[in-house]
Amino acid sequence: MEDPKMQVYKDEQVVVIKDKYPKARHHWLVLPWTSISSLKAVTKEHLELLKHMHAVGEKVIADVAGSSKLRFRLGYHAIPSMSLLHLHVISQDFDSPCLKNKKHWNSFNTEYFLESQAVIEMVQEAGRVTVQDGMPELLKLPLRCHECQKLLPSIPQLKEHLRKHWPK
């Protein structure tokens, strides 16, 4: 978080860093300076921060990849791999040598990936984030293309298939 070489953007509330193991051409993490352990710790008092994190994610997309035809998603892992609240901002090409296994793929392409706007709405309505049971099982689902829903037997075959969906 503190390493200036990894920082893409920072303000008084958040810092945006490049993901250490990016799963796509563009993969950033928006982290609040305030230490929040996870989505489970989020309450209504964090609502404005969540909205700010989302807005900053959108700003980074516009600033860094604005001229690109790539699509992006912003969201949180239901069960995060690191213990600080962080918003993923990820391009939908999934063109990365760090995308190596089914767990990586399914963590961004199933309901395991909670859309940022849905999280904001959940906190607005319920005052907290609730994660459904059975989330770890989603990581074991078959590999399915997020664009055309085709099932692929392996990560190498999925990656080859994804090329045909990339913007020309």
**Residue 26, CB-side half-sphere exposure with 13 Å CA sphere:** 23
Least confidently predicted of 29-33, 40-44, 61-65, 126-130:
61-65
Active site residues: 86
pLDDT > 70: what percent of the chain?
98
- Does residue 7 contact residue 17 with C-beta atoms inside 8 Å? yes
Least confidently predicted of 1-5, 29-33, 86-90, 131-135:
1-5
State how beta strands 14-18 and 27-32 pair: antiparallel
Radius of gyration of the chain (CA): 16
Cα–Cα distance measured from residue 118 to residue 35, given in angstroms and rounded to the nearest whole number: 22
Cα–Cα distance measured from residue 89 to residue 74, given in angstroms and rounded to the nearest whole number: 5
Q: Which two tokens stand for residue 117?
A: 């706007």
Per-residue pLDDT averaged across 43-67, rounded?
94
For the chain, list the domains and their CATH numbers.
Answer: 7-165 (3.30.428.10)
**Is the confidence at residue 98, as pLDDT, over 80?**
yes
